[in-house]
Amino acid sequence: MDHFFQAIKQVGMDWCPGIKEEQNSYRSELAGIDGGLSMIAVILKFFDITEGGIEIALDGDSALNSAKASREFLNSFQSSYDLLQDIRNRLTAIPEGIKIKWRWVKLHQDDKGYNKLDWWAKSNIKADKIAKEFCRKCIRNNRIHKPVQLWYEHFAIRVNGIKESKLNKKNLYSASQKDNILNYWRNHHDFAIANTEDIDWESFRLANARLPLGLQRWLVKFATGFIGNRHKLNQRREFPTSKCPNCDHPIEKSSHVLQCKNSQALLELDKNVLKVKEKLSEMKTLPILQDAIIEILKNWKHGKTIRPSKFSRTAGLRDAVTHQSRLGWHNFFLGHWSKLWQQVRKNHLQEIKTRLSRSRWTVSIINKIMHLTYEI
């Protein structure tokens, strides 16, 4: 029997399951372990083997540690929860008489001289080469990345029909609430956003996440109108009038607060505009874009009309101003920016041939303007 097994050499290759975005070397190593275990399961079943030993070797230590940690609870939020669940259940299904041993093989030992290496190291190099060739072939053939529910994956969550590799709160929340939230903003009484798909929500999210928690809460209350302004207080019959306490405006909604001519607010604006200006300069912003943003912040606060035709067409600046005018300048103050601002940055960076990030710019400037909104 021993002689017979020595003669068996099985080489298996598997295309790692899951969507393209979640592929990484950790997941590939786990897919290798899982594929190996599925081959072992077939061999054990076919030959009815119930005793003996299995040694699983790989060079990825984090995948190895996750796979062999059979006594630890799996967390459904942990990376590659699906593969780990399948691995765990496959290991449990192996007959008790078969002992499993794990071996970590040091990566890239071939630079020491291939012939000096032991069998494990040589096999690791061979496996690595086969895997790379297989991967290249799959890429050449445009093989798609496909999330599948694994054999021993007892339950799986699908979001919009796509199986998740782990529980992802953001995806779940987005799938269940996105339409409700966008509809809320489309029909908002004060800060309506007609074309919600035109907003650079990702930059807004990141800029908002950088705010202190208290300021994040304040911004939500302010934007929704559920804050102690006179409009809301009057609506709740907690105050006799909705009139602005600082000027003669008849309804003090949040949008009015942004444009109230109260002298203290105007002073705060001047102070905070300087901080935005510093940030724009620090981020190496195209000078005409710097000037445009500062001019818009000041003029809009002073109740002046923003005329897109006054702005240069360079780098698509006028398109961004026109687009934001349609979305509303109050939205600009709240961080709901047109996607075209990022395009202006991109055009400028291409022009000056630099590798600076365009998204970091948008996030930093939106963040600064959110601070400014809070101060005024």
Beta strands in 177-272 (DSSP E): none
Q: What is the distance between the alpha carbons of residues 41 and 215, in angstroms, rounded to a whole number?
A: 55
C-beta closer to Zn ion: residue 90 or 253: 253
63 near 26, Cβ under 8 Å?
yes
- Least Å from the CB of residue 275 to Zn ion: 23
C-alpha distances (whole Å) from 230 to each of 215, 262, 286 are 21, 15, 40
The half-sphere exposure of 253 on its side-chain side, counting CA atoms within 13 A, is 10
C-beta closer to Zn ion: residue 247 or 288: 247
C-beta closer to Zn ion: residue 94 or 247: 247
Structure tokens at 256: 């009015």
Count Cβ atoms below 10 Å from residue 221 Cβ, excluding itself: 15
Residue 244 within binding range of Zn ion, rule CB under 5 A: yes
C-beta closer to Zn ion: residue 257 or 320: 257
Residue 260 within binding range of Zn ion, rule CB under 5 A: yes
Q: What is the distance between the alpha carbons of residues 231 and 257, in angstroms, rounded to a whole number?
A: 11
Beta strands in 66-142 (DSSP E): 98-104
- Least Å from the CB of residue 265 to Zn ion: 8
94 near 54, Cβ under 8 Å?
yes
C-beta closer to Zn ion: residue 257 or 292: 257
Count Cβ atoms below 10 Å from residue 251 Cβ, excluding itself: 15
Q: Can you give the C-alpha Rg of the chain in angstroms?
A: 30
Q: Which stretch binds Zn ion (CB under 5 A): 140-148, 225-233, 256-264, 270-278?
A: 256-264
- Least Å from the CB of residue 281 to Zn ion: 32
Residue 376 within binding range of Zn ion, rule CB under 5 A: no
- Of residues 88, 122, 221, 249, which one binds Zn ion by CB under 5 A? 249
- Least Å from the CB of residue 257 to Zn ion: 7
- Least Å from the CB of residue 264 to Zn ion: 11
Q: What is the distance between the alpha carbons of residues 15 and 38, in angstroms, rounded to a whole number?
A: 14
Q: Which stretch binds Zn ion (CB under 5 A): 158-166, 199-207, 252-260, 300-308?
A: 252-260
- Of residues 107, 175, 215, 247, which one binds Zn ion by CB under 5 A? 247
C-beta closer to Zn ion: residue 263 or 354: 263
Q: Where does this chain bind Zn ion (CB under 5 A)?
A: 244, 246-247, 249, 260
